[in-house]
Amino acid sequence: MGRNAGWVAAAAVLARTDTSDAPHLIYVPERPLLADAVTEQVRQVVAQHGYAVIVVAETVRDGNGQPWARQVGSDGFGHVRLVGAAERLGALIEERLGYKTRFNKPGSLQRSAGTCVSTVDWEEAYLVGQVAVARAVDGARDVMVTLLRQPGPVYRAATGLASLADVAHAERRLPPEFLDDQGRITPAFLDYVHPLIGGDLPAYARLGGRDWGLGTRGYPDSALKATSAGIGAPFPEC
Protein backbone atom coordinates (compact mmCIF):
# COMPACT_ATOMS: atom_id res chain seq x y z
CA MET A 1 0.00 0.00 0.00
CA GLY A 2 1.12 3.56 -0.57
CA ARG A 3 2.73 3.07 -3.98
CA ASN A 4 5.86 5.23 -3.97
CA ALA A 5 5.38 6.44 -0.40
CA GLY A 6 6.54 4.35 2.54
CA TRP A 7 4.25 5.57 5.31
CA VAL A 8 2.48 2.25 5.87
CA ALA A 9 5.65 0.17 5.80
CA ALA A 10 7.50 2.61 8.05
CA ALA A 11 4.66 2.53 10.60
CA ALA A 12 5.58 -1.08 11.37
CA VAL A 13 8.35 0.36 13.55
CA LEU A 14 5.65 1.18 16.11
CA ALA A 15 5.54 -2.52 17.00
CA ARG A 16 9.01 -2.39 18.51
CA THR A 17 9.47 -2.03 22.24
CA ASP A 18 13.26 -2.51 22.22
CA THR A 19 16.07 -2.90 19.70
CA SER A 20 15.72 -6.68 19.54
CA ASP A 21 12.05 -6.54 18.55
CA ALA A 22 10.69 -7.21 15.10
CA PRO A 23 10.54 -5.91 12.50
CA HIS A 24 14.33 -5.82 12.36
CA LEU A 25 14.54 -4.39 8.85
CA ILE A 26 12.13 -2.06 7.05
CA TYR A 27 12.52 -1.17 3.38
CA VAL A 28 10.56 1.75 1.91
CA PRO A 29 10.31 3.15 -1.65
CA GLU A 30 12.08 6.39 -0.73
CA ARG A 31 15.46 4.62 -0.67
CA PRO A 32 16.89 2.19 -3.26
CA LEU A 33 16.99 -1.43 -2.15
CA LEU A 34 20.41 -2.83 -3.03
CA ALA A 35 20.89 -6.58 -3.11
CA ASP A 36 24.39 -6.57 -1.59
CA ALA A 37 23.34 -4.27 1.26
CA VAL A 38 20.24 -6.32 2.00
CA THR A 39 22.25 -9.54 2.09
CA GLU A 40 24.70 -8.13 4.61
CA GLN A 41 22.01 -6.55 6.78
CA VAL A 42 20.05 -9.81 6.96
CA ARG A 43 23.21 -11.77 7.74
CA GLN A 44 24.01 -9.41 10.64
CA VAL A 45 20.47 -9.54 12.06
CA VAL A 46 20.34 -13.34 11.96
CA ALA A 47 23.79 -13.57 13.52
CA GLN A 48 22.58 -11.39 16.40
CA HIS A 49 19.03 -12.67 16.92
CA GLY A 50 18.90 -16.02 15.16
CA TYR A 51 16.14 -14.88 12.81
CA ALA A 52 14.98 -11.75 10.99
CA VAL A 53 11.57 -10.21 10.39
CA ILE A 54 11.47 -7.85 7.42
CA VAL A 55 8.85 -5.37 6.22
CA VAL A 56 9.22 -4.41 2.57
CA ALA A 57 7.01 -2.08 0.57
CA GLU A 58 5.70 -3.56 -2.68
CA THR A 59 7.09 -0.66 -4.73
CA VAL A 60 10.74 -0.65 -3.64
CA ARG A 61 13.23 -0.14 -6.46
CA ASP A 62 16.85 -1.03 -7.04
CA GLY A 63 19.79 1.30 -7.60
CA ASN A 64 18.80 1.76 -11.25
CA GLY A 65 15.24 2.75 -10.39
CA GLN A 66 13.80 -0.59 -11.51
CA PRO A 67 11.09 -2.17 -9.32
CA TRP A 68 11.89 -5.32 -7.37
CA ALA A 69 8.33 -6.46 -7.99
CA ARG A 70 6.99 -7.59 -11.34
CA GLN A 71 4.47 -5.56 -13.28
CA VAL A 72 0.98 -7.05 -13.54
CA GLY A 73 -1.28 -4.82 -15.62
CA SER A 74 -2.57 -1.49 -14.34
CA ASP A 75 -5.41 -0.15 -12.24
CA GLY A 76 -8.34 2.03 -13.27
CA PHE A 77 -6.18 5.15 -13.09
CA GLY A 78 -3.42 3.78 -15.30
CA HIS A 79 -1.02 3.08 -12.44
CA VAL A 80 1.13 0.02 -13.01
CA ARG A 81 0.38 -2.76 -10.51
CA LEU A 82 3.49 -4.19 -8.86
CA VAL A 83 3.47 -7.53 -7.03
CA GLY A 84 6.12 -9.89 -5.71
CA ALA A 85 8.73 -7.72 -3.96
CA ALA A 86 8.69 -9.87 -0.81
CA GLU A 87 8.81 -13.06 -2.88
CA ARG A 88 11.89 -11.85 -4.74
CA LEU A 89 13.55 -10.68 -1.54
CA GLY A 90 12.99 -14.09 0.05
CA ALA A 91 14.46 -15.83 -3.01
CA LEU A 92 17.53 -13.60 -2.86
CA ILE A 93 18.10 -14.43 0.81
CA GLU A 94 17.71 -18.15 0.22
CA GLU A 95 20.10 -18.07 -2.74
CA ARG A 96 22.83 -15.95 -1.14
CA LEU A 97 22.62 -16.97 2.51
CA GLY A 98 20.98 -20.37 2.43
CA TYR A 99 18.30 -19.35 4.93
CA LYS A 100 14.78 -20.68 4.75
CA THR A 101 12.32 -17.84 4.18
CA ARG A 102 8.62 -17.25 3.94
CA PHE A 103 6.53 -14.16 3.25
CA ASN A 104 3.05 -12.95 4.10
CA LYS A 105 0.97 -10.18 2.55
CA PRO A 106 -1.41 -8.52 5.05
CA GLY A 107 -3.86 -7.67 2.24
CA SER A 108 -7.35 -7.04 3.56
CA LEU A 109 -6.22 -7.81 7.12
CA GLN A 110 -4.75 -4.34 7.51
CA ARG A 111 -7.95 -2.80 6.15
CA SER A 112 -10.49 -4.73 8.19
CA ALA A 113 -9.13 -4.96 11.75
CA GLY A 114 -11.68 -2.55 13.19
CA THR A 115 -10.84 -3.42 16.78
CA CYS A 116 -7.34 -2.04 16.20
CA VAL A 117 -8.41 1.36 14.88
CA SER A 118 -6.56 4.28 16.42
CA THR A 119 -8.85 6.40 18.61
CA VAL A 120 -7.29 9.52 17.09
CA ASP A 121 -7.95 8.23 13.57
CA TRP A 122 -11.52 7.31 14.47
CA GLU A 123 -12.30 10.74 15.91
CA GLU A 124 -10.63 12.60 13.04
CA ALA A 125 -12.44 10.51 10.44
CA TYR A 126 -15.76 11.43 12.07
CA LEU A 127 -14.72 15.10 12.19
CA VAL A 128 -13.71 15.12 8.53
CA GLY A 129 -17.08 13.60 7.61
CA GLN A 130 -18.94 16.27 9.55
CA VAL A 131 -16.96 19.08 7.94
CA ALA A 132 -17.40 17.57 4.47
CA VAL A 133 -21.20 17.51 4.84
CA ALA A 134 -21.25 21.07 6.18
CA ARG A 135 -19.07 22.40 3.35
CA ALA A 136 -21.15 20.53 0.74
CA VAL A 137 -24.32 22.11 2.13
CA ASP A 138 -22.55 25.49 1.88
CA GLY A 139 -21.94 24.85 -1.80
CA ALA A 140 -18.29 23.77 -1.85
CA ARG A 141 -17.37 21.68 -4.89
CA ASP A 142 -14.26 19.92 -6.21
CA VAL A 143 -12.47 20.06 -2.88
CA MET A 144 -11.53 17.63 -0.13
CA VAL A 145 -11.30 18.14 3.61
CA THR A 146 -7.75 18.10 4.98
CA LEU A 147 -6.26 17.72 8.44
CA LEU A 148 -3.72 20.36 9.40
CA ARG A 149 -1.42 19.43 12.25
CA GLN A 150 -1.02 22.28 14.71
CA PRO A 151 2.33 23.25 16.25
CA GLY A 152 3.07 22.48 19.87
CA PRO A 153 4.05 19.58 22.13
CA VAL A 154 0.47 18.23 22.36
CA TYR A 155 -1.03 16.75 19.20
CA ARG A 156 -3.89 18.79 17.74
CA ALA A 157 -5.28 19.00 14.22
CA ALA A 158 -7.54 21.50 12.49
CA THR A 159 -9.46 21.03 9.26
CA GLY A 160 -8.98 22.78 5.95
CA LEU A 161 -9.94 22.43 2.29
CA ALA A 162 -7.77 21.50 -0.67
CA SER A 163 -8.62 21.58 -4.36
CA LEU A 164 -8.96 18.14 -5.90
CA ALA A 165 -6.92 19.39 -8.85
CA ASP A 166 -3.98 19.93 -6.48
CA VAL A 167 -4.10 16.53 -4.77
CA ALA A 168 -5.34 14.08 -7.42
CA HIS A 169 -2.49 11.74 -8.51
CA ALA A 170 -0.11 13.56 -6.14
CA GLU A 171 2.10 11.83 -3.59
CA ARG A 172 3.38 12.81 -0.20
CA ARG A 173 6.50 10.76 0.37
CA LEU A 174 8.48 10.33 3.57
CA PRO A 175 10.59 13.48 4.13
CA PRO A 176 14.40 13.03 4.35
CA GLU A 177 14.52 13.58 8.12
CA PHE A 178 12.44 10.43 8.68
CA LEU A 179 15.18 8.21 7.19
CA ASP A 180 18.87 8.07 8.04
CA ASP A 181 21.75 7.61 5.58
CA GLN A 182 21.19 3.85 5.55
CA GLY A 183 17.43 4.13 5.03
CA ARG A 184 16.52 3.25 8.61
CA ILE A 185 13.52 4.86 10.30
CA THR A 186 14.60 7.73 12.55
CA PRO A 187 13.31 8.89 15.95
CA ALA A 188 11.86 11.92 14.15
CA PHE A 189 9.39 9.61 12.39
CA LEU A 190 8.37 8.05 15.70
CA ASP A 191 7.84 11.49 17.22
CA TYR A 192 5.61 12.38 14.29
CA VAL A 193 3.55 9.22 14.04
CA HIS A 194 3.17 8.06 17.65
CA PRO A 195 0.49 10.63 18.59
CA LEU A 196 -1.60 9.44 15.64
CA ILE A 197 -2.27 6.01 17.17
CA GLY A 198 -3.78 7.39 20.37
CA GLY A 199 -1.25 5.94 22.80
CA ASP A 200 0.98 2.92 23.11
CA LEU A 201 0.15 -0.33 21.36
CA PRO A 202 -0.98 -3.26 23.54
CA ALA A 203 1.80 -5.14 25.33
CA TYR A 204 2.18 -8.72 24.15
CA ALA A 205 3.50 -11.59 26.22
CA ARG A 206 6.70 -13.29 25.14
CA LEU A 207 7.20 -17.03 25.01
CA GLY A 208 10.39 -18.24 26.65
CA GLY A 209 12.69 -19.63 23.99
CA ARG A 210 15.21 -22.40 24.02
CA ASP A 211 18.85 -21.25 24.13
CA TRP A 212 20.61 -22.37 20.95
CA GLY A 213 23.84 -20.59 21.80
CA LEU A 214 22.60 -17.38 20.18
CA GLY A 215 20.92 -15.87 23.24
CA THR A 216 17.53 -16.45 24.81
CA ARG A 217 15.74 -15.12 21.71
CA GLY A 218 17.87 -16.93 19.14
CA TYR A 219 17.69 -20.08 17.10
CA PRO A 220 19.68 -21.55 14.21
CA ASP A 221 20.56 -19.50 11.15
CA SER A 222 18.64 -21.94 8.92
CA ALA A 223 15.38 -20.88 10.54
CA LEU A 224 15.18 -17.32 9.31
CA LYS A 225 11.62 -16.10 8.86
CA ALA A 226 10.91 -13.17 6.54
CA THR A 227 7.35 -12.19 7.38
CA SER A 228 5.33 -9.10 8.11
CA ALA A 229 3.32 -10.95 10.75
CA GLY A 230 5.93 -10.47 13.48
CA ILE A 231 6.07 -14.21 14.32
CA GLY A 232 9.39 -15.95 14.36
CA ALA A 233 10.46 -16.83 17.89
CA PRO A 234 11.07 -20.52 18.67
CA PHE A 235 8.46 -22.55 20.52
CA PRO A 236 9.41 -23.43 24.11
CA GLU A 237 10.01 -27.03 24.95
CA CYS A 238 7.06 -28.78 26.62
Judge whether 192 lies within some domain. yes
Q: Contact 159/128 with Cβ under 8 angstroms?
A: yes
DSSP string, 158-213: EEEEEEHHHHTT---PPPGGGB-TTSPBPHHHHHHHGGGGTSPPPP---PPPP--S
- Answer whether residue 139 is part of any domain: no
Residues 117-176: tens digit of each pLDDT? 899 999 999 999 999 999 999 999 999 999 999 999 899 999 999 999 999 888 899 999
Q: Let me know if residue 88 belongs to a domain.
A: yes
**Across 76-84, average pLDDT:** 76
How many domains would you assign to the chain? 1
Instruction: Please report whether residue 16 resides in a domain.
Output: yes
Reported pTM: 0.79
Pairwise CA distance, residues 174 & 177, whole Å: 8
Residue 14: give the domain boundaries: 7-116+173-223
Q: Residue 163's pLDDT is what?
A: 96
Q: 3-class SS at 45? A: helix
pLDDT in tens, 179-229: 998 889 999 999 999 999 988 887 777 776 554 444 433 334 444 444 333
Closest CA to 217 of 196, 233, 202: 233
For the segment 35-69, what is each residue's pLDDT rounded down to a tens digit?
A: 999 999 999 999 999 999 999 999 999 999 998 98
Percent above pLDDT 90 for the chain = 60
Here the CATH number for the domain that contains residue 92 is 3.40.50.460
Asked if 93 contacts 85 with a C-beta cutoff of 8 angstroms, the reply is no
Position 184 in a domain? yes
Mean pLDDT, the chain, whole residue set? 84
Q: What is the pLDDT of residue 169?
A: 81
